[in-house]
Amino acid sequence: MTIGVNPTTNAATAKREIKNWHKAQKENLTTGERAADRMRNFMGSWGFVGGFVAFMIVWAILNTVLPFAWDKYPFILLNLFLSMLAGLQGAILLIAAKRQDAIAAALAEHDYTTNVAAKTDIEDLMKINQRQIVMLNELSEIVRVLKEDRDAKVNKPVRAAKPGARTK
């Protein structure tokens, strides 16, 4: 009665590398992808919104108060810059969104392979557990038989000696 353990499965399980998937992904980014991520993170912050509002207020005040204003009201040059900025932001955000989609797909693939490996490990453990249950049942049966044999020997009636028979 031996437990049939598959040494290759257990060795593979024991040697499976635990790695940080996100760190590996960041190491493989191109310069453009890193720049798009940084710009997306900056443009999506309250700091950017506050700074941009402050810039537009300063622009409007300077071009309204100063006698040598370079962009008088209705601020056509500012509108041109805002239009260009919106066009660039749209492209940068699309690049960043495309990267996020790729990351989500790669992460889903990573999760799938992890789940398949975990399923294999669990199935192996269940097989070992089933073998152990069979062995325990066999051992219980052996113990029951041994107890019955012992009890039969202990409870065996002793024959009374015949009168006049010699005892040693």
Residue 12 CB-half CA count within 13 A: 10
Q: How many domains does the chain have?
A: 1
Q: Which residue has the tokens 């490996």?
A: 117
Q: Is residue 168 part of a domain?
A: no
Residue 126 lies in a domain: no
Residue 128's pLDDT band, with cuts at 50, 70 and 90, is very high
> Confidence class of residue 43 from pLDDT cuts 50, 70 and 90?
confident
- Residue 136: predicted pLDDT: 97
> Is 14 part of any domain?
no
Banded model confidence at residue 1, pLDDT cuts 50, 70, 90? very low
pLDDT computed for residue 38 by the predictor: 87
ω into residue 67 within 30 of 0, thus cis? no
CB contact at 8 A, 75 and 63: yes
Mean of pLDDT values over 141-147: 95
94 class by beta-carbon count within 10 Å (0-12 exposed, 13-18 middle, 19+ buried):
exposed
- Considering the domain boundaries, does residue 46 fall inside one? yes
Q: Per-residue confidence at 28, pLDDT binned at 50, 70, 90?
A: confident
Q: Confidence class of residue 79 from pLDDT cuts 50, 70 and 90?
A: very high
Structural domain range at position 74: 22-116
pLDDT at 3 over 60: no
Is 127 part of a structural domain of the chain?
no
pLDDT value of position 2 = 46
* pLDDT given for residue 55 in this prediction: 94
In a domain, 132, yes or no: no
Q: CB count, 10 Å around CB of 129?
A: 10
pLDDT above 80: residue 71: yes
Residue 155, pLDDT score: 79
**Domain presence at residue 72:** yes
Q: Is 147 domain-assigned?
A: no
